[in-house]
Amino acid sequence: MNVPLHTQPDKLTDLPGLAAHVSAGDCVAVGGGLSWREPMAVLRELVRRRVGGLRLIGSAHGIDVDLLCGAGLVAASGESYVGFEQDFGMAPNYRRACESGAVAVEDNCCYTLVQQLRAAIAGLPFMPMRSMRGTGFMDLHPEFKTLRCPYTGEELVLVPALRPDVAILHAQYGDAHGNLRIEGPPVADVLFAKASRRVIATVEQILPTDRLAEMGVSIPYFYVTALAEVPHGAHPTACYPFYAYDRRHTAEYYRLAAQGAEAFREGYLQTYVHDCPTEADYLRAIGGPASLERLASWQESPESWRALYD
Amino acid sequence: MTERPGDCTLGEALIYQIARTIEDGILAFHGFGSPLVQLALHLAKRTHAPNLVLVAGATYGVNPAPPFLTPTSNDWAMNRGAECHLSIDELFDLAAAGRLGRMFLSGLQIDRRGNLNVTRLGRERMSLKLPGGGGGGNLSCDARRITLWTAAHRAPPDQSGRRRFRLVERCDFITSLGHGVPGGAQRGRLGHIGQGPDWLITELGVFDFDENGQARLAALYPDVGLDELRASTGFELVARDDLASIPLPTAEMAACIRALDPLRIHERELRPEDRARRFELEA
């Protein structure tokens, strides 16, 4: 099993340094969920570097998985949901990639994933659970087995341990040692960090270790392989209290993705990823300080917060 | 759509039907991507179910008081005022241990026994990849009771005259378990904690389930006829002898929904022609 501890005193690097920890073909857990705290800057860097053949696992995702599919980096998806909810609807690049067979469909369910990660965290080969029998997931995943419980005689499902090669996270705060503090819903990030062989993270701000300890650590440093300070690293998803979801940019993303694979590559990937070799270039491309101030305006009043969704 | 005094919209009537299925004092979870259900839980908590433990989808906040409904669910606005927070593993553990009283599920296909498909269309060859069911596959087995819903029951013929039913004889994939599959394992034999769906709410009617786990039309909207509903249903329609008209919300309930959803996010779940439907409010 041999899962490494990451103990080096200084783990600070930059985006290329983080991306170097992801290899083609890796099983990847992307942190955050839906329109919240997705590690988008790292994903953009993976697109620039064309790290492909990724096998994704996760719970409820959106633009993160769709972007990787649109860039052709995904070999298989074990997510439980990929879409833009009622805001924009189904994920265009993800759909195309699954329907063409480019991405192997390995859909999972949230609790099944939780139990599989827990098995990895506990160093066990599997975890039992009761649900899923009677659904299509049992056929979709022949690796799920059933067992007669030796204590109660009831039939249970056994789901195998799932140990991602790398978890990619974005948090509000971190320190040079690699401690991470997540504010607001952690989604599955803590489970991902504990179950994965490597964890790479971007943070809005690097703080001194004593300051971070006062605030409270969500993920201890020894799970974390490397981290980088990348402000707005979750854009266009939200990273409160710094910024809200950029609905305007997401609408543009969606419009281009819905037009087809080529329109997406030329209209979106070229403009916002390949023509932006650094995240500073990306922030200029999305509208610079005016856009960033608009997204931070949620704090001013419920009315200005609401206006971001018009 | 602007509201008029004295009547309610289809969305508000639908939200009320869902709210009526929520018992007081239970723990219920609304999942993500379902503003009608989000609003139904808030309406229930503010009316007949003050002791409801309302767990918000995506944020896992408990009893939040959002300043307004956002178009995506994992937003701090949806989490405002929450008393405490669960983690993803905690919420699903509560369900697995039998503590989740009710869950709400929808799908692109719903069959007569309440099985749902949100995974794929096409059995042999995938013709459409759907977004996936999140935790629905697990919760359909573990939640004590399930409310099914869809705002797209009506199935008008397409240009070639074909009707694409939402309520189908058989799902192409079973993302969430209802009362079992014809020829397959029935829920009762699987030993799940949950009892399965007891309500199916659509924009045309409200169904309950009989003792054999078959959907049965219990109530119609005032502007819908039985023949119209039958023509939109892909399985043979069975109606209760005491078929009723749906109960309508009061002015206070409609006002509560309007205050919670000033951006009318829930209307995105409705077809444009349905957004114009109006019903007289209950006195």
pLDDT digits (tens, 9 = 90+) for A70-87: 999 999 999 999 999 999
Q: Which residues pair with B168 in a beta bridge?
A: B111
CA–CA gap between residue A59 and residue A39 (Å, rounded): 15
- Decide if B133 and A81 are in contact by the 8 Å CB cutoff: yes
Mean pLDDT of B149-159: 95
Q: Give contacts of A187 with chain B, Cβ < 8 Å.
A: 58, 74, 88
Task: Return the pLDDT at B12.
Answer: 98
Average pLDDT, integer, range A212-235 = 98
Taking alpha carbons only, the member of B17, B36, B18 closest to residue B264 is: B36
CA pair distance B235, B164, nearest whole angstrom:
12
DSSP state of A202: E
Residue B186 pLDDT: 87
- pLDDT reported for residue B5: 72
Query: In chain B, which residues have their Cβ closer than 8 Å to the Cβ of A191?
Result: 88-89
Cα distances (angstroms) measured from residue B154 to each of B61, B122, B166, B234, B274: 34, 21, 8, 11, 10
pTM of this prediction? 0.97
Residue type, B51: N
Given an 8 Å threshold on Cβ–Cβ distance, is B134 in contact with A184? no
Across the range B237-258, mean pLDDT stands at: 97
What pLDDT score was predicted for residue A1? Answer: 57
In angstroms, the separation between the Cα of residue A269 and the nearest Cα of chain B is: 22
Amino acid identity of residue A296, one-letter, is A
Indicate which of A114, A192, A194 best probes the interface with B, i.e. most B CBs within 10 Å of its own CB: A114
B194 min Cα distance to partner chain A (Å): 9
pLDDT value of position B95: 98
**Nearest residue to B27 (alpha-carbon basis) of B6, B49, B59, B2:** B49
Three-state SS at B280: strand
Kindly report the number of other CB atoms within 10 A of residue A192's CB atom: 28
Give the pLDDT confidence of A40-61 residue by residue, as tens digits: 999 999 999 999 999 999 999 9
Give the rounded percent of residues in chain A with a pLDDT score beyond 70: 99
Cα–Cα dist A276/A290, whole Å: 18
Half-sphere exposure of B147 (CA within 13 A, CB side): 30
pLDDT at B2: 55
Work out the average pLDDT over A21-28: 98
Q: Could you tell me the pLDDT band of residue B183, with boundaries at 50, 70 and 90?
A: confident
Q: Count Cβ atoms below 10 Å from residue A42 Cβ, excluding itself.
A: 28
Q: In angstroms, what separates the C-alpha of B26 from chain A's closest C-alpha?
A: 20
Mean pLDDT of chain A: 97
pLDDT band at residue B42 under the 50/70/90 scheme? very high
- Between A and B, how many residue pairs show a Cβ–Cβ distance under 8 A? 188
pLDDT higher than threshold 90 for residue A270 = yes
The residue in chain A having the minimum alpha-carbon distance to the alpha carbon of residue B139 is A131
- Residues with Cβ within 8 Å of A123's Cβ and at least 6 positions away in sequence, in order, are A1
Top residue of A56, A105, A116, A130 to mutate, by most chain B CBs within 10 Å, is A130
ipTM over 0.90: yes
Give CA–CA dist B70/B56, Å, rounded. 13
Which pLDDT value is given to residue A303?
A: 95
* E strands in chain A: 27-30, 54-57, 60-61, 74-78, 81-84, 89-90, 104-105, 126-129, 145-148, 155-160, 166-174, 180-181, 198-206, 226-229
Task: Phi first, then psi: give them for residue A245, nearest 5 degrees.
Answer: -60, 130
Beta carbons of A185 and B79 less than 8 Å apart:
yes
Give the percent of chain B with pLDDT over 70: 99
Question: B196-209 as b/e, with b when 16 or more CB fall inside 10 Å?
Answer: bbbbbbbbbbbbbb
Check if B66 contacts A (Cβ < 8 Å): no
Dihedrals phi, psi of B29, to nearest 5 degrees = -130, 135
Nearest beta carbon to residue A306 from set B68, B126, B139: B68
Q: Are A165 and A75 in contact (CB under 8 A)?
A: no
Contact between B283 and B27 under an 8 Å Cβ cutoff? The reply is no
Q: What is the mean pLDDT of residues A154-161?
A: 97
Residues of B in contact with A118 (CB under 8 A): 89
Burial of residue B67, with CB atoms counted within 10 A of its CB: 0-12 exposed, 13-18 middle, 19 or more buried: middle
Q: Note the pLDDT tens digit of each residue in B48-74.
A: 999 999 999 999 999 999 999 999 999
B 173-212 residues with CB < 8 A to A? 173-177, 180-181, 184-185, 187, 190-193
Chain centre to alpha carbon of residue B39:
11
Encode pLDDT of A85-140 as tens digits. Answer: 999 999 999 999 999 999 999 999 999 999 999 999 999 999 999 999 999 999 99
Per-residue pLDDT, B181: 83
At A217 the three-state DSSP class reads coil
Are A133 and B119 a contacting pair at CB < 8 A?
A: no
Average pLDDT, chain B: 95
